[in-house]
Amino acid sequence: MKIVKITTHLVSVPVEEKSAWVSSLGRAVKRDCLIVEMETDTGIVGIGECYHGSSPLSLDRLVQKVLAPVLMGKNPLNWELNKSLLIKRAKLMGPFGLITMAVAGLEIAMLDIVGKHLGAPIYQVLGGFREWAPVYVGGLCLGWKDVDDLCAEAKKYVEQGFKAMKLRMGRGYERDVDSVRRVRETVGPDIRLMVDVNQGYSDRDAMKIIKKYEECDLFWLEEPVPHDKLAIMARLRAMSPVNLAAGENSFTLGDFKRVLDAGAVDIIQPDACKIGGIGDMRKVAVLAESHQIEVHPHIIGTSIALAAALQFVGTIPNAGMIEWDNSEGNLFRDGIIKDSYEIADGQIKIPSAPGLGVEVDYDFLKEYPYVDGPCYV
């Protein structure tokens, strides 16, 4: 079997004004993604996704002009060898960032081909451990709203059967504490609550607010300070029973080793579409297991990225929860694949069809071509 063609699909979907979120980046007006399509001489086609890092055009050119030629004529079943060739080709550009994002989409596509060739989902090809995974509501919902609206949204998710949810905070000490306290009162004591600050607190505010979050029985606090402040993270972890989570902004095995060795986290959150794919996710999981730490994958892309994360957690013993973006009008969740995910009793089923287990809707890719311009205004 040989790789004969690699095509990229740049996609932009609009964000309706009524469902637009506002963050430190501004108000969202669109979402972009880069999908990789890999064809073989046997007719098997693999699909992958790259996290674009707000630079989709640069990433697309990197995949097409620098990395894709390396794979022409290669056997996708030798995906580990092929991946090493990609890293070697790009090593003078640095070991992380756009490089690992680009490699991720290509590696995931190769693994999709491997699974389809063998007639099994990726998680079984790599060694199956579970068929279902705990799920929590997160993504681009449950944040950036007035507290009454936030509580109403949280109550709705409890009624839908979700047992855990993550709130987007970072809009000020008093407002954050009040919002989390009110949501806890709304959902009751049996729902896991997490907070993601996206590196939004100062060191001093983080140390003050984590004590308040203890009173709300918070399960984890995610990226309270800039991700490279490992000493501060370790200090926060030592002073509070609230679990600290991070990892979405780490890109290499060395990055994750430094985070874990520093004692900076209770929960690690690698992103398959950022760190080079499912293979590197599994290496991070082994590192985390040696520290007795669970892996809760970070996901911010489409349902293809979600499929990759699910296939990954299906292979490891120390997997935690999967993030489910329950926001309204989410075309990245509902439109880009023909399949739908099965969620029941706070669990999500890992796709069991061969490869990633999902089928891309190519009509959708044509309907939403890339639109130049920023995602936030």
**CA nearest neighbour of 304 among 280, 346, 279, 338:** 338
Contact (CB, 8 A) for 181 and 154: no
Q: Tell me, what's the pLDDT at 118?
A: 99
Q: State pLDDT tens for residues 203-254.
A: 999 999 999 999 999 999 999 999 999 999 999 999 999 999 999 999 999 9
pLDDT at position 96 over 70: yes
Q: Is 373 left (phi over 0), alpha (psi -120 to 50) or beta?
A: left
Q: To 5 degrees, how large is the angle CA 310–CA 60–CA 339?
A: 35
Q: State pLDDT tens for residues 131-178.
A: 999 999 987 667 767 899 899 999 999 999 999 999 989 888 889 999
Percentage above 70 pLDDT, the chain: 98
Percentage above 90 pLDDT, the chain: 82
Q: Residue 23 and residue 265: Cα distance in Å, rounded?
A: 25
Q: Which of 95-109, 129-143, 273-287 has the highest mean pLDDT?
A: 273-287
pLDDT at position 328 over 80: no
Q: Predicted confidence band at 55 (pLDDT cuts at 50, 70, 90)?
A: confident
pLDDT at position 91 over 90: no
CA contacts within 13 A on the Cβ side of 368: 20
Can you give the length of the chain in residues?
377
CATH of 3-119+362-367 given 3.40.50.620, 3.30.390.10, 3.40.50.300, 3.30.300.30: 3.30.390.10
List every span in the chain annotated with CATH 3.20.20.120.
123-349
pLDDT at position 269 over 70: yes
Task: Point out the catalytic residue in the list 9, 52, 296, 298.
Answer: 298
Q: Tell me, what's the pLDDT at 24?
A: 62
List every span in the chain annotated with CATH 3.30.390.10.
3-119+362-367
From residue 218, give the alpha-carbon distance in Å to each of 47, 61, 118, 153, 167.
37, 42, 43, 18, 11
What is the CATH code for 123-349?
3.20.20.120
CA contacts within 13 A on the Cβ side of 35: 25
**Does the annotation mark 9 as catalytic?**
no
Mean pLDDT, the chain, rounded, equals 94
